[in-house]
Amino acid sequence: MSPFSQIVYELALSIPKGKVVTYGDLASAAGGGAMASRSISSILSKAQNQRAIPWHRIVYAGGRVWLAPDLEKKRRTLYKLEGIKVDAKGKITNFKDVHYNF
């Protein structure tokens, strides 16, 4: 794992419950440039302990969430448990309150 990838992984693990970061936030905090956010999913998908990664806490810009049909129910449950409010269209309605800054 490259140093950048290791930092991305460690930062992802550090996102507190009830908070979210965008892919761009994560890339920037790890020292990456503007295009680095596009590599975050790929980097994390290659991590040895993927189950430890709080995937639901990493969201798209502006608080849009990924709600694939096979994971939507599980993710909505996790969001609800953590006080993250997601509307029917997959947007976090309390994004300003739950957005985490590293």
For residue 66, the enclosing domain spans 3-98
Q: Could you report the per-residue pLDDT of 5-32, keeping only the tens digit for each?
A: 999 999 999 999 999 999 999 999 999 9
pLDDT tens digits for range 49-96: 989 999 999 999 999 999 989 999 999 999 999 999 999 999 999 999
Q: Give the CATH number for residue 12.
A: 1.10.10.10
> What DSSP string runs through the chain?
--HHHHHHHHHHHTPPTT-BEEHHHHHHHTT--GGGGGGHHHHHHT-TTGGGS-GGGEE-GGGB----TTTHHHHHHHHHHTT--B-TTSBBTTHHHHB---
Q: Report residue 81 as tokens.
A: 């448990």
Specify the number of domains making up the chain: 1
